[in-house]
């Protein structure tokens, strides 16, 4: 007589469930990525030229970065106005104080091709 040994019956494991906190974490991650994308795109698309009037004057607004003047003019004040990934060069009128680096400024200016591309000659001193 032949003896038969019954094969062990595999125990059925219950289906694995995701933790309760998994869905809120995924939703939070998707929202964080969306917010970061919007902030990043807005930062890259920023422009210091806020508006241009009919007479050609522009309102520049952004962080000011001073640049030293090569001329011996002691009243020279010039620098870059930066917003987002763009900047424009601006020369302030004689007698204006040089704003500190990274100061948020607003100034009315007129494009000046003699200073270069995307360069402006301010009509008045900067305001903060």
- Residue among 108, 35, 96, 28 at smallest CA distance from 66: 96
Comparing 7-16, 30-39, 40-49, 105-114, the range with the smallest average pLDDT is 7-16
pLDDT at 117: 85
Q: Specify whether the CB–CB gap between 62 and 104 falls below 8 A.
A: yes
- Angle (nearest 5°) at CA 69 between 64 and 73: 125
> Which pLDDT score is estimated for 24?
93
Mean pLDDT, the chain, rounded, equals: 85
pLDDT one-digit tens code per residue, 85-110 = 888 999 998 888 889 999 999 999 99
- pTM, two decimal places: 0.64
Instruction: Flag whether pLDDT at 80 surpasses 90.
Output: yes
Please give the CATH architecture assigned to the domain spanning 49-122. Beta Barrel (2.40)
Looking up tokens 């040994």 gives 5
All structural domains of the chain with their residue ranges:
49-122
- Residues ≥6 apart with Cβ < 8 Å to 61: 48, 50, 81, 83, 104, 105, 106, 107
Alpha-carbon distance values, 56 to 10, 32, 120 (Å): 83, 41, 11
Express each pLDDT in 45-61 by its tens digit. 778 888 888 898 999 99
């Amino acid at each position: 007589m032949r003896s038969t040994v019954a094969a062990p019956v595999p125990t059925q494991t219950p289906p694995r469930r995701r933790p309760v906190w998994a869905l809120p974490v995924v939703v939070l991650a998707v929202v964080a990525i969306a917010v970061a994308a919007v902030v990043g795109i807005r930062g890259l698309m920023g422009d210091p030229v806020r508006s241009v009037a009919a007479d050609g004057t522009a309102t520049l607004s952004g962080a000011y970065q001073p640049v030293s003047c090569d001329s011996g003019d002691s009243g020279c004040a010039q620098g870059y106005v930066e917003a987002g990934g763009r900047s424009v060069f601006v020369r302030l009128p004689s007698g204006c104080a040089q704003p500190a680096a990274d100061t948020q400024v607003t100034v009315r200016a007129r494009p000046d091709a003699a200073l270069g591309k995307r360069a402006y000659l301010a009509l008045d001193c900067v305001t903060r």
